Chains A and B, each alone.
Chain A
């Protein structure tokens, strides 16, 4: 048994679970917990083990090792029908032979809920997903978006401790996906149930989640708020998978011994955000010898030693592009525009450094600023605080 306090704080606590399929480790020693009312996203590429992890929490797979605590009980080996969690399936898995009403009522009927209460709860759930008065329809008569709403209603009507969502937007087209994201967030706010949202779409995770766990090869490599994950990725994989990043290999040439005061950092930069998120972990100023860029100044939370091989992550939108040689920021390098991509609000540039390295730069479009064309010489500048050092 866990203590009362833990009970109240978390919807689920996953402790060190692992799972093999025919000798292949699919999930390896995963640990995390989801707070009550939290929107938690499990983000990773296909094949990283996120779906297996979800299925172990749902009760469709059983871990080889570890525990899953829900409502003060380890349910790691309890079958799906005895767990207080419900799932929204990727293709919704609505029962094609039952009306919307009966689809939504299914869980309550299984629990032998008295008819008047069942009726009221089903009507309520259909109302919450804006399908009131459509209870008599059959699933085949609905659009993709409506089917998704039924799948949501069918799950939340049971008032689960945790709602599991397996890539619920995958079957929808782009435009509808954006609308459904907003609706989903609003719905979660309204009903206050904890959500575990599995996705490979980093944009979805960043937009929806309170916290994100990034998975790679069966392990969780980083857990944090969307801002934390974006501004302070702990590995090259996370930096590259969440958002777009220019990753450059380098070697530490000098480390300043003095710790940097958080207040002395430029507000809004990657380093300042990282420090704020990590509750003022010590920060050191370092100088790196980076391939193709020369000597670069950066900040690091990790204890780095001289000569250590590291990766420098530089977000495309943190690079300033100018034609003047005058240095405004700490780091500067010249490049040739290779490709200009006009996207309306933004302009993306692919630029090539003198030695052939390609970098991506993202600028905000303004009609009064000149758009650089292919072949133009430009100068890239960035603040030291905006370059993240990945040990």
Chain B
């Protein structure tokens, strides 16, 4: 294949710049010594230090982590079971069942968020973080389900038969053959879901209350008062963590391609 040159190369680079420029500005200004975003006064880690000292921010981070870990673990278990059940058994109207699994990805998030708000209002007692965990599990499930299903479709069902032919029970065949081969997709899907949960704003905004603020909701609340450069630092940190998670998820997906 030829290498792109001239106008093609230029327009490609321009497109990428268009996508990443806002992010770049944000990251650069998170290291700005000035209190005002519009003026550059030299390199500083001041906003990062201030961010770490902020107790509201720390509790929001903790909330985000707790919700992210529990909801992606729950969603992973459910998605794996759902994908296996649909793939390994004969279902009537299979594509309809499958649609139910991935539909939440295309449903407007605002609708989901309002729906959750109304639903949780019906529950008399205060569920606290549990509300966020449940809502994020719903958010994560289709993402993980799609990743695991893609992997499962590539898996030869005869592998499990071969294991049983060699004396393994059905359960043994699953643990010795299917599970190790699905592992990259399961771990990758969980990481991806964790990243999505960490970044989620809409649903968290609607479902959380003052005691269960997550990081993106907290950042938004900061913006309402003043445009502190601390927000830049916080967002940059969130961005880096998310990217790391997604990168590991992708590496795991890439690894399975060799199987």
Contacts and interface: CB of A to CB of B under 8 A. Distances in A.
Q: Do A and B come from one complex?
A: yes
Contacts of B162: 87, 89, 93-95
A97 B181 contact: yes
Contact of B167 (A60, A81, A91, A95): A81
Interface residues of B, number: 19
Contacts of A89: 158, 161-162
Contacts of A158: 166-167
Nearest to B162: A93
Interface in B166-188: 166-169, 172, 176-177, 180-181
B164 interface: yes
A190 interface: no
A245 B180 CA distance: 52
B163 A106 contact: yes
A87 B161 CA distance: 10
A110 interface: yes
Contacts of A154: 166
Interface string B134-177: 00000000000000000000001011011111111100100011
Among A87, A110, A140, max chain B CB count under 10 A is at A110
B178 to A, nearest CB: 10
Contact of A60 (B161, B177, B180, B258): B161
Interface of A: 58-60, 79-81, 85-87, 89, 91, 93-97, 106-107, 110-111, 140, 154, 158
A81 B165 contact: yes
A81 B158 contact: no
B259 A110 contact: no
B166 A107 contact: yes
9 contacts: A58-B165, A81-B165, A97-B177, A106-B163, A106-B168, A107-B167, A110-B168, A111-B167, A140-B259
A81 B162 CA distance: 10
Nearest to B157: A93
A106 B181 CA distance: 16
B259 A86 contact: no
10 pairs of A and B residues whose beta carbons are closest in the complex = A110-B167, A107-B166, A93-B162, A93-B158, A80-B164, A96-B259, A81-B164, A87-B165, A106-B166, A81-B167
B93 to A, nearest CB: 17
A80 B158 contact: no
Nearest to B166: A107
Contact of A95 (B159, B164, B169, B172): B159
Contacts of A110: 163, 166-168, 172
Given A58-B165, A95-B159, 12 more contacts: A80-B161, A80-B165, A81-B166, A89-B158, A89-B162, A93-B156, A93-B162, A95-B177, A96-B181, A97-B181, A97-B259, A110-B166
Given A93-B156, A96-B181, A81 B161 contact: no
